[in-house]
Amino acid sequence: MEAFTFVLFGATGDLAKRKIYPALYNLFIDHKLPQSFSVIGLGRRELTNEAFQANIEHSLHEFSRREANDPNSIQNFLRAFSYCVLDVGHKEDYYKLLKLIETKEEELQSEPNRMFYLSVGPEFFETITANIHESGLGSANGWKRLVIEKPFGHDLQSARDLNTNLKQVFTEDEIFRIDHYLGKPMVQKLVDLQLNNPVLKAVLDNRHIANVQITANEIVGVEERAGYYDHVGAVRDMFQNHMLQVLMMLTINFPNNSTTENVRFKKKLVMESLELLHKEDVRTNVVRGQYEAGMIQGKPVVGYTSEPNIAATSQNDTFIAAKLQIDDYFWRGVPFYIRTGKRMKDKSTRIVIEFKESLKQSGTKDDSTTPNLLVFEISPNEGIVLQLNTRDPLQRGQFKPMQIDFQEDLDNVPEAYENLILDALHGDSTFFAHWDEVELSWQWVQPILEAYEENLVPLRLYAAGTNGPAESDLLLEQDGFQWWFDEKYELENQENESIQQDQFVLNTNN
């Protein structure tokens, strides 16, 4: 890898402390960074380099997946860091920054390769990129790249406006839109699993699949994000980005050569094939929810409208469940159910694929038979569960489910931000959100936003510590289905038999 300068806007923020610094440190320890690199942290607060480095070291001890107990390694890492006071609206600060970067590049005898990471609110994106251009920060002979965090707009039009402004300074190939779900190891493995396992690839289509469920449950409430969250809700905070990205990664039909451009093209095809909802149809395909007071892990919690800095009359959504249809050769006729919410019963992100019942056609299917399922556990645990029906010799040959559980050893597995930052440094945008799919995602969500604004979709209340509004169950029941694994693999009226393999090496070519 070529030497580079990592310019971090928002260097004193929570994201930098919890994710970015630990990710850079782990990459450094794993020898995935070049010997020569420089990190310049930017913020409005006055800090000395020594104080800045001490803050970084504290974040490593608290948040790094690797123990930061080697003083020599830590000091060698921190030596690359320096701090510069910058007000994003002061143009003269950018010229001061340019001089500092050029001095660092001269000291390291490195090429002017510069990554600008905007760990700041989206309202500052356009101001920062315009000043990068005007000051000459991005006009050196080396490469330049821009990394931005979601949200990429507030609705379809604001997303288009933001993209237009960013592209006055950076090309699409230079813009890396981070969606940290795309950095999760199991989401990234969806590519390799399909490419390297023909059996899996062969069954992922409408001939074999009855329905697909994608769930992201959170047990936390709004916490310190009330000012932000009350203006976005679950549909903007999770659904438009994370959930639709997971949908794309699951359903794209990978060619044998899955290059960045191929993946980008296939994801776009999925979004173009996603059947659009009309505003009037949102009510029958979308469940909108908000949590009330309840119990989380045995402790009482308040309802959303009783949270600090949330208005008692707020109609903001903290839960969304939706039914989607992909109108293409592979997925036509298969319903996709997506849900995500705060203050749910457990913390879990998973994909559940329910297979069609072959015995139903012969009329011999036992109504009590549990369907065959393929489950991708994404977080907090990672693994694949295959649930198959087998005859129980003790119960007169009746069927019962048997679970084959493939668990990945997560010790020292790179975290999402490590994967994504490393890819950005290499210029690989495979697991980033490209503009085409961002625009198409907002286009699909726009009727939901409009229906919410016009109050065409009732706000369903659900107690904290449950699986969401009862109406989200009805969304599946009307099609003859149910949400699976809401009880942590406790299937009603079933005795599960599990074959455990503590360590199973998946054929992922990682």
- From residue 236, give the alpha-carbon distance in Å to each of 239, 267, 317: 6, 20, 10
**Residue written as tokens 């009482």?**
300
Residue 214's SS3 state is: strand
Give the helix, strand, coil percentages of the chain, each rounded to 5: 40, 25, 35
> What are residue 415's DSSP bridge partners?
none
Q: How far apart are CA 492 and CA 355, in angstroms?
A: 19
CA nearest neighbour of 245 among 157, 152, 175, 309 = 152
Q: How far apart are CA 296 and CA 392, in angstroms?
A: 37
**Segments of 370-445 assigned E as strands:** 373-379, 383-392, 398-407
Q: Which of 180, 231, 242, 426 is catalytic?
A: 242
- From residue 267, give the alpha-carbon distance in Å to each of 91, 254, 299, 410, 501: 38, 10, 42, 28, 33
User: Do β-strands 209-217 and 348-355 pair in parallel, antiparallel, or remain unpaired?
Assistant: antiparallel
How large is the greatest C-alpha to C-alpha distance in the chain, in angstroms?
Answer: 82
To the query of whether residue 242 is one of the catalytic residues in this protein, the response is: yes
> What are residue 289's DSSP bridge partners?
319, 460
- What are the tokens at 8? 């971090």
> Crossing angle, helix 416-426 and helix 21-29, to 10 degrees?
70
CB 291 within 8 A of CB 217: no
Q: How far apart are CA 467 and CA 469, in angstroms?
A: 7
**Residue written as tokens 């909802």?**
277
> What are residue 319's DSSP bridge partners?
289, 341
Give the strands of the sheet with 319-325, arranged side by side.
459-463, 286-292, 319-325, 335-341, 209-217, 348-355, 373-379, 383-392, 398-407, 497-501
Would you tell me how many other CB atoms lie within 10 Å of the CB of residue 66? 15
User: Do β-strands 4-9 and 114-118 pair in parallel, antiparallel, or remain unpaired?
Assistant: parallel
- Straight-line distance from the first to the last Cα atom of the chain, in angstroms, rounded to the nearest whole number: 19
CB 333 within 8 A of CB 326: no
CB 499 within 8 A of CB 403: yes
Phi and psi dihedrals of 37, rounded to 5? -155, 160
Active site residues: 242
